[in-house]
Structure 1
Amino acid sequence: MGLSRLCRFLAWLRGVPGISPAPAPEQVPAPAPISTWTPDLQRIATHPRRELVPPQAPVHSKQLNLQWIIPDAANKSGGGHMSIFRHVRFLEAQGHQQTLWLRPPWFHNSPEEALKTFQAYQPLSAGVEVRFLPDDPGQISGDAVIATDWWTAYPALAVSHVRERFYVVQDFEPQFQPMGAGYLLAENTYRFGFKCLCGGNWLAQRLREDYACWTRAWPLAYDPEIYFSQGSVSTKHSAIPRIAFYYRPSTPRRAVELALAAFELLHAQGLHFSVDFFGEPLAFTPAYSYQDHGVLTPPELADLYRAVDLGVVFSATNYSLIPLEMMACGLPVVELDMPGTRAVFPAGTTLSVAPDPVKIAAGIQSALSEPAQLAQIRQAAAEHVATLNWAASCTAFEQALIEGLTA
């Protein structure tokens, strides 16, 4: 083939759909390093456990140097991370210096990238530094190191150049897995001698009584700019009752199967109702009326709570933000009658049901057929959440840190 014919052939080839020169390679950020702190039950407990070597300088309680160790977060989807970042933001506003050390698995290629994600939780300034947790945390120093889940308690135990080790405990994490190595290694962290800052009184009491921990409680709260009621406490919304249900089967402690069984029983009994599923996309097709909302933003959640008649959200361990946010929107809440919920919700603020689908179904049916009962629950819940706010909770958290460092 002559040169001119070859050039014409190549020109024609470039015009054929689907055939084009290979694009220039994109610039891909360097991946995050591999860490020895990647969760592994066999490896986690073999890391160094060091004695404290506290700084000699006196504590400046108005300007603490706080070293957090937190799990990396892929997106704005976790109430536990939201509470952590609320405390971080408050402490920053009080003048404290903070570093967030991210434990793996890492969802970001750089600390700068992670900080952008964290800004979606709470706005943080340049005064908060974000870094990847090093293989040897012995280089970390400050007034305090703060573990935030059981996996982070082990690297915190390897940090020595601080005055104290603290532990933000938001749930009884041993129960997140069956009895075995995971349960026992998580439970061991309550015996490390850390000072525990507990999300709610039930956790504080349990760790104090069962493990002799130093504990201080800070209550969960809600954002009143998002979660608020727009109607009378006696308002009934729908001709066919609507039930907002937190559907998160990937989290076993949410006990979603109990509620699903109760809904099936109610449907079989001929009760007319519709379930608004939120939390995760549905993995099945219900036989009764429903809407599948999947993952909602906080403003979307608030709109849902204000539009429906009853909220069903279960926790088999510690309580969570969702019931409080429902209450703030004037939505009566159905919760499991468990030690963790019994300790934090005053009597009459929720419809408390035994963890039995038959009794759950009976409780829901009774509530939906008695508007006066729902009105009483709404009123009691509204009075309860009116006593809660994040400023007071974060202040209690800061005061506990200072007490733990200076007492």
Structure 2
Amino acid sequence: MNRVAWVISPPEKGSGGFRTICTKASYLDQHGFECHFFILPGSEAYKSSGTVAEQIYLWFGYKPKSVRVEHTIPCNFDIAIATAWPTAEFVAFQSTPLKLYFIQDYEPWFYPMGECYLRAENTYRLDLKPITIGRWLSSKVSQYYPLSVPFCDFGVDLELYAANKNYREPFSVCAIYQPGKDRRLSGMLIKAIELVCTYDSRVSFYLYGSNQKVSTDSDRIHQLGVLTTSECADLYSRCSVGISLSASNPSRLPFEMLASGLNVVEVFGENTAYDFKSNAIRFSETSPEGIASALLSSLNETQVDCSELASIEVENQMFLDAVFNYQNNTVKPKGDTLVDVRTLPVSINDELAQLSRDVALINYKISADAQTPVCANHASITLFMNIDFDSHTLIRAAYWLRSDQSDLKWIDFNRNRDQLEMDISLPSQISSESILYIHLYSSDVITNQSLFLGEITQLISPSASESVNDLNRDISFGKLHFHVNFSQVDSVLDASKDASIASVLKSIFRR
């Protein structure tokens, strides 16, 4: 059986992209694979792997073989799959025999031209094997790869999203509204809706996809928030027109709208022209007035024919075929392409590349340890004195668990021969998983000036059954090397009050 490591960032409720990941993983499970989800270290410090596993099952109905946070993928895995650009570098570092990149959008376009844009683009140059959702996206990223880029057509659950003969509200429009995603053109959408409301008093709108509200006093704009798939299907069955706008790869939503018998409005561009076959799509100019014009035209059209749409089974089989083709080395090469060689970048120094890799792997390890839930009521920190401190330099720490910092406390390190030590008392009972923040500072007792040294975080769990009771970590900030131990002890001193007394007692008994 092939063991598959899907590297993910924890999902948001209602995420269509994450639902697609779960659908593909479930299909692989049914065809001789065993799928595990690995949370990218550092991507979500506020959730343990257990919490993420519960949310995946609750929100998407899928239960992978395991959900875990680890700084590296074990060697007994056959396939690792990156699922978004931040996960690609992590997968590229692994020793897994086959490393895939499941690409659902052209993610550089999520950012203005700058560091994030270039970092996202550079993931297409890593030694990963791509599979895309949609034909346009395959064409878009093919410039980065020597072989043809396998793709999956956008498939639809044709049982859930089905055209029916039920009564539809004749001037009702459903529209995906996601202001947190610039590529969904939410500002342009709202302006188009305002135009239509002014132009035709019969039209009403149902916005969904986000809990962020539009500021409006119109009783013809209904805001439904995030919907389940069944709630979406019910909405589509009642409306006459659907709007789903995208400035990058199309969403799956317009295909589901088409399957439900809706006429659909989408902005026109090379990114949208590749994947739609149905003549029910009304492409609009990329302006509020263009969208409004296409919408009004669609209201006068009859119900669409959705016979050209692919099923979700066809989409999943295309994904499986791509995996098999990579395993069997049967992906076809591309034709020759011309390369402009007048200007080429300086080649990356091998030693620098290795150094960068080493630093990244260390950071993954630190982040993975921080996300390991610890059932602890005590933390001890030791700073090894590998550098000289002035006699008037004080090393201090601020720590807190509550998000509003209402429980913030300060504590000083105490000198013990060639090292500094500090003990922190934590609440013996907490109601839910919480992040312990420890901020380290050096302070000059003469000038009263402080210098921030670094931050240590740790996920603290209220339940011993779901966490470890003891954890040791070694963390460095430049030349400063700290050893941190989190543990469960029967009784601990109130460190904010009694740390200095404890230090004196320790020094006496050591003499």
Same fold (TM over 0.5): yes
1:167 to 63, 82, 101: 101
* SS of structure 2 residue aligned to 1:320: coil
Deviation, 1:299, is: 1.4
Q: In the alignment, which residue of structure 2 is the partner of 1:58?
A: none
In structure 1, what is the Cα distance between the partners aligned to 2:161 and 2:46?
Answer: 31
Pick from 174, 183, 197 the counterpart of residue 267 of structure 1: 197
Aligned: 1:156 with 2:91: yes
- Cα shift readout 1:128-186 (whole Å, capped 9, x = no counterpart): 2211132xx264552221101000001112102x2221100000000011110000000
Q: Does 1:85 align with 2:22?
A: yes
Q: 1:289 to 1:262 in 2, by over 3 A?
A: same
Which of residues 300, 311, 322 in structure 2 aligns to 1:400? 322
CA contact (8 A) 2:124 2:144 kept: no
Match of 1:277 in 2: 207
2:8 is equivalent to residue 70 of structure 1: yes
Contact preservation (8 Å) 1:308, 1:331: yes
Select 2:251's aligned residue among 320, 340, 343: 320
- RMSD across aligned C-alpha pairs, in angstroms? 2.1
Residues 15-45 of structure 1 show CA distances to partners (whole Å, capped at 9, x for unaligned) of: xxxxxxxxxxxxxxxxxxxxxxxxxxxxxxx
Q: Which secondary structure state, in structure 1, belongs to the residue aligned with residue 150 of structure 2?
A: strand
Equivalents in 2 of 1:124, 1:258: separation in Å?
35
Shift in alpha-carbon separation, 1:323–1:119, aligned structure 2, 3 A? same
Higher alpha-carbon deviation: 169-178 or 256-265: 256-265
Distance 2:93 2:269 in 1: 35
5+ unaligned residues in a row in structure 2: which ranges?
330-511
Quick check: 1:97 aligned with 2:97? no
Task: State the Cα deviation string for residues 36-84 of structure 1 (Å, max 9, x = none).
Answer: xxxxxxxxxxxxxxxxxxxxxxxxxxx2222211111243x11111011
Sequence identity percentage: 26
Contact 1:170 1:199 in 2 (8 A): yes
Q: Which has the higher helix share?
A: 1
How many corresponding residue pairs? 327
Q: Is the 8 A contact 1:336 1:354 kept in 2?
A: yes
2:48 is aligned, of 105, 110, 121, to 110
How far the C-alpha of 1:287 sits from its partner, in A, is 4.1
| CA deviation after TM superposition for structure 1 residue 292, in Å | 1.4
Q: TM-score, normalised by structure 1?
A: 0.75
Partner of 2:82: 147
**Runs of 5+ unmatched residues, structure 1:** 1-62
TM-score (structure 2 length as normaliser): 0.60
Partner of 2:131, secondary structure, is strand
1:390 aligned onto 2:321: no
**Cα distance in 2 between the residues matched to 1:177 and 1:397:** 28
SS at match of 2:149: strand
Q: Which string of whole-angstrom CA distances, capped at 9 and with x for unpartnered residues, describes residues 207-246 of structure 1?
A: 11355465110122222332222217xx7x335x111111
1:132 & 1:209 partners in 2: Cα distance?
A: 33
Equivalent AA in structure 2 for residue 132 of structure 1 = V
Alignment of 1:4-403 (within 5 A): 63-75=1-13, 77-103=14-40, 104-106=42-44, 109-124=47-62, 128-134=65-71, 137=72, 139-160=74-95, 162-209=96-143, 211-212=145-146, 214-231=148-165, 237-238=168-169, 241-281=171-211, 282-287=213-218, 289-346=220-277, 348-368=279-299, 370=300, 373-375=301-303, 378-379=304-305, 382-385=306-309, 388-403=310-325
Q: Tell me the amino acid that sits aligned with residue 256 of structure 2.
A: E
Q: Secondary structure at the match of 1:167?
A: strand
Pick 1 or 2: higher relative contact order, CA cutoff 8 A, min separation 6: 1
Q: Any idea what SS the aligned residue of 1:394 has?
A: helix
**Judging changes above 3 Å, is the alpha-carbon distance between structure 1 residues 261 and 399 closer, same or farther for their aligned structure 2 residues?**
same
Choose between structure 1 and 2: higher strand proportion. Answer: 2
Per-residue CA deviation, residues 91-149 of structure 1 (Å, 9 max, x unaligned), is 11112122211114337643233222222355545x72211132xx2645522211010
Are the equivalent residues in 2 in contact too, given 1:69–1:145 (CA < 8 A)? yes
Shift of the 71–205 alpha-carbon distance from structure 1 to 2, 3 Å rule, reads same
Q: Which moved more, 1:306-315 or 1:167-176?
A: 306-315
Which deviates the most, 96-105 or 198-207?
96-105
SS of the aligned residue for 1:119 comes to helix
Using the TM superposition, give the Cα deviation of residue 248 of structure 1 relative to its aligned residue in structure 2, in angstroms: 0.8
